[in-house]
Structure 1
Amino acid sequence: MRTICVKGVRAALFVSACLSFAVPAVAQSVEWDVSLWGQRRAFTEHVEHLARYVERATGGEFVLNLSYGELSPNRENLDGIQAGRFEMAQFCAGYHPEKNRAITALELPFLGVRTLGEELAASRALYAHEAVVAEMAGWNAHLLMPTPLPQYNLVGGGTPPQDLNWLEGRAVRATGGIARALGQFGAETLSLTATETYDALEGATLDAVAFAQHAHFSFDTISLARWWTTNLDPGSVNCPVVVNIDALDALSDAHRAALDVGVERALDHYLRNYEDLILKWSEVLEVFGITPVTFSDEELANLRAGSADLHAIWAEEVTQAGLPADELVATITAALEAHRQSVD
């Protein structure tokens, strides 16, 4: 309500007249800058969908401006969120585990995640854990939504490997728990960003690349590939979308509601799109003439056997950082069990 007092010129009739009336609130338009990298791909489809939804749902009052590399290097997106240089960003935990130790629990090797739906359920459960929330708050960041990715496998050039002993002394692009798992067999892992990987593989700095399916298209490593491992499945990477907490708190109720609904719709769209890509992957390998490499159950058992030690090493590091390692892993395990029960 606003009150306006009008003083009359005819003092005999009016000393003053005060009129109170309601003034409609003027809608405030909001624009958020969003820092991504590379190019539009399956990995960013949920952000693309979210941007379309919130703009449409708010009649153009809430706009997400998506930038692919113009705002920040991909290793510095979390820093940019903290500094308020942009309002939303995507990052990968394995690029800087020291900044986001809690969510690296999702990058542990051989967690037993089988589907994108399971990866989504585990991520959302862990993102809600108080230790994770607190760690991200230190970066002025709120975990808005995950980027569910399948189990990673390798592509490489040259003669296809016959067994896992091939990894001995080989340079492999891998991050997080995947790097640790492959290191058990003597691989020399390099934590390159996705955008750095093609040049390294083309220049023979790398012998193989651990990526999810979409990335081999997006960063063109598939054009250099001669073989692909079908069943290595050492783990995945976790690459959340975060928003600046101050920007989130400044949203109106209507814009926050549009964002929340948009996230759910965006994740549904993302899963459908990525699952379709996975279904077509075998056809893609055939078209590109890429040889599938399948390892024996015995070899994979040997690879998994070391995962307990890797988990213990991770737990010690995380505990020393003041985080509840056992609770974080238990949260993931419980989420996986609950999801499986819900779909059975």
Structure 2
Amino acid sequence: MNKMLTGAVMAAASVAVAGEVAATEWNVSVWGKRRAFTEHVEKLAELVSEKTGGEFTMNISYGGLSKNKENLDGISIGAFEMAQFCAGYHRDKNPTITVLELPFLGVNTLAEEVAVSHAVYAHPAVQKDLARWNAKLLMTSPMPQYNIVGTGEPRDELAEFKDMRVRATGGIGKAFSAVGAVPTSVTATEAYNAMESGVVDTVAFAQHAHLAFGTINRAEWWTANLNPGTVNCPVVVNTDAYDALSDSERDALDSSVSEAIDHYLANYGALLDKWDGVLAEKNVTKVELAESELDAFRTVAADPIREAWIADMTAQGIPAQELYDLVMKTLSDVRAGN
């Protein structure tokens, strides 16, 4: 009898251990704190857990696994299974995606940003580019056009941008450089300290980041209509970890992306609706540049920077013109569909 009981206990233990082994747990590396920019990641984790009955879970770490500029490196070595990063943090590591950071692309809404990003992500050259880091592109983190907050006298003329020290990355940084400003690419988490210490005069962010990283609290003015472009920040997964998922787990992950993006868009839309109230509450002056100033900015920054990007990327063997044309066609198709 004792032998039979012992055997039963051992069998039960084996089943329990097998159950534990079957459960899948992913570590996810993001940064800062939970905010509009990470809501699709949070929603994705919630949906995947629900669809798998808790057998596939995600532990989302805000800075505990890696620095934001090193998330792609962490993915490449399998230090964690999922991560968010921004292309402008390391353009040489993800050159194909930087097409989405060109200034003045003309993307007007978050839905348009999702469409052009996912079209580019699906391009074979882009997938090959990210495969160098053992990364599979999962979804974008759509952001509205960047605008700047600053201290001192408001800058509402292009001439006043000369020698302005601005926190700006990627194509936005190049655009400001084209009009005589001095961009610096400190990370989002470093932006407040850079502004506080006087390393920069102004900071270019989307609205959620001005709130999340506190730059709005030092601001005296904000440009409402500069809209030079935005930063592209994908969410990627480690390819080996993705391939190791069971069919049901993979389906739970893939089928949750659209719903996670929809949740993100709704959440971000609510934030934008409150933005004017935030400015009033913090006594931040809204600055609107004249259309003639904006036209001058586009003339200096849009075409020359795009042409230089296409020439540079083409020289590296990247189908740059094809990628740019894909963005424009997708934008046109989305608007035609609406």
Tell me which interval the TM-score lies in, with the shorter structure as reference length.
over 0.9
Q: Partner of 1:341 in structure 2?
A: 336
Q: Deviations over 1:115-158 (max 9, x none)?
A: 00000000000000000000011110000000010000000111
Consecutive aligned runs of 4 or more in structure 1 exceeding 4 Å deviation: none
Looking at structure 2, the residues matched to 183 and 294 of structure 1 have their Cα atoms a distance apart, in angstroms, of: 20
Q: Which amino acid is 2:320 matched to?
A: A
Tell me the secondary structure at the aligned position of residue 331 of structure 2: helix
Paired with 2:160 and 2:148, the residues of 1 have a C-alpha distance of 12
1:330 corresponds to 2:325: yes
1:138 aligns with 2:132: yes
Q: Does residue 225 in structure 1 map to residue 219 in structure 2?
A: yes
| Residue 103 in structure 1 maps to residue 107 in structure 2 | no
2:306 aligned with 1:311 = yes
Q: Which residue type is aligned with residue 271 of structure 1? A: L
TM-score by length of 1: 0.91
**Is 2:35 the counterpart of 1:29?**
no
Alpha-carbon shift at residue 96 of structure 1 (Å): 0.2
Corresponding residue for 1:174? 168
SS in 2 for 1:315: helix
Counterparts of 1:261 and 1:166, CA distance in 2? 48
SS across alignment from 1:60: coil
Q: Given residue 29 of structure 2, which amino acid in structure 1 is its aligned partner? A: S
- The one-letter code matched in structure 1 to 2:316 is A
Q: Counterpart of 2:203 in structure 1: which amino acid?
A: V
The amino acid across from 2:163 in the alignment is G
Q: Is residue 2:289 matched to residue 1:295?
A: yes
1:321 to 307, 316, 329: 316
| Greater C-alpha radius of gyration | 1
CA distance in 2 between partners of 1:89 and 1:238 (Å): 14
Are 1:263 and 2:226 counterparts? no
Partner of 1:144, secondary structure, is strand
Cα deviation code 1:81-129 (max 9, x no counterpart) = 0000000000000000000000000000011101000000000000000
Q: Is 1:274 the counterpart of 2:265 in the alignment? A: no
Q: List aligned pairs for 1:25-104, cutoff 5 A.
A: 28-104=22-98
SS in 2 for 1:39: coil
Structure having the larger proportion of residues in helix: 2
Structure 1 residue 294: deviation in Å?
A: 0.6
**Structure 1 residue runs without a partner (length 5+):** 1-22
What secondary structure is seen at the aligned counterpart in 2 of 1:311? helix
- TM superposition shift of 1:287: 0.9
Corresponding residue of 2:12? none
**Aligned pair count?**
320
- How far the C-alpha of 1:162 sits from its partner, in A, is 3.6
How many Å separate the matches in 2 of 1:209 and 1:149? 16
Q: Distance in 2 between matches of 1:301 and 1:259?
A: 43
1:149 — aligned with what? Answer: 143
Aligned AA (1:207): D
1:202 corresponds to 2:190: no
Partner of 2:116: 122
CA drift of 1:275 comes to: 1.1
Deviation at 1:226, TM superposition (A): 0.4
3-state DSSP class of the match of 1:280?
helix
Q: Which residue of 2 aligns with 1:161?
A: 155
Map 1:209-248 onto structure 2 (within 5 A). Answer: 209-248=203-242
The letter for the 2-side match of 1:118 is: E
**Taking structure 2 as the reference length, what is the TM-score of the superposition?**
0.93
Report the Cα offset of residue 278 of structure 1: 1.0
Output the amino acid matched with 2:233: C
Question: Following the alignment from structure 1 to structure 2, what is the Cα–Cα distance between the partners of residues 106 and 78?
Answer: 18
1:165 deviates by 1.4
In angstroms, what is the RMSD of aligned CA positions?
Answer: 1.2
Matches of 2:209 and 2:176, distance apart in 1:
19
Give the Cα–Cα distance (whole angstroms) in 2 for the partners of residues 89 and 224 of structure 1: 30
Structure 2, unaligned runs of 5 or more: 1-14
The residue matched to 1:159 in structure 2 has which SS? coil
Secondary structure of 2:237's partner? Answer: strand
